């Protein structure tokens, strides 16, 4: 399997505006809004976003790994003993899925358009 790297970190948020204000004031991060419940951040050293959608946000920070072949990576994860927790879906800029490792940690794998 090709060298897959964590390229994005998604943080769950209860109230998007309050989280944006917190990280802006504390670290000087800047944000790009993608609808009322999602904002990507920059200036943190890695790309990331805040997800405040109660139906979609994870309970813990979500590391996102980039793949050039989403379906192949999904099969490799299953062979290694991982479990798919959210099947492949599209988002602005690509597609992704979520999986859990044997300890129950949730991660995502994305493929850019």
- Reported as a single tens digit per residue, the pLDDT across 3-56 is 789 999 999 999 999 999 999 999 999 999 999 999 999 999 999 999 999 999
* pLDDT reported for residue 82: 96
Supply the CATH number for residue 20's domain: 3.10.180.10
From 25, 58, 100, select the one nearest 49 (Cα to Cα).
Answer: 58
The answer, yes or no, to whether residue 1 has pLDDT greater than 70, is no
Number of domains in the chain: 1
Edge-to-edge order in the sheet of strand 38-42: 30-33, 38-42, 47-51, 5-12, 62-66, 106-112, 94-100, 83-91
Q: Considering only CA atoms, give the Rg of the chain.
A: 14
Structural domain of 29: 5-112
CA distance 51 to 2: 29
């Amino acid at each position: 399997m090709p060298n897959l790297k964590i390229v994005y970190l998604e943080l769950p948020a209860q109230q998007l505006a309050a989280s944006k204000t917190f990280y802006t004031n504390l670290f000087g991060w800047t944000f790009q809004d993608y609808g009322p419940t999602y904002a990507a951040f920059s200036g943190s050293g890695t790309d990331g976003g805040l997800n405040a959608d109660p139906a979609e946000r994870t309970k813990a920070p979500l590391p996102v790994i980039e793949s050039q072949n989403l379906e192949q990576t999904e099969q490799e994860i299953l062979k290694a003993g991982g479990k798919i927790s959210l099947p492949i879906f599209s988002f602005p800029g690509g597609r992704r899925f979520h999986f859990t490792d044997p300890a129950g940690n949730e991660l995502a794998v994305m493929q850019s358009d």
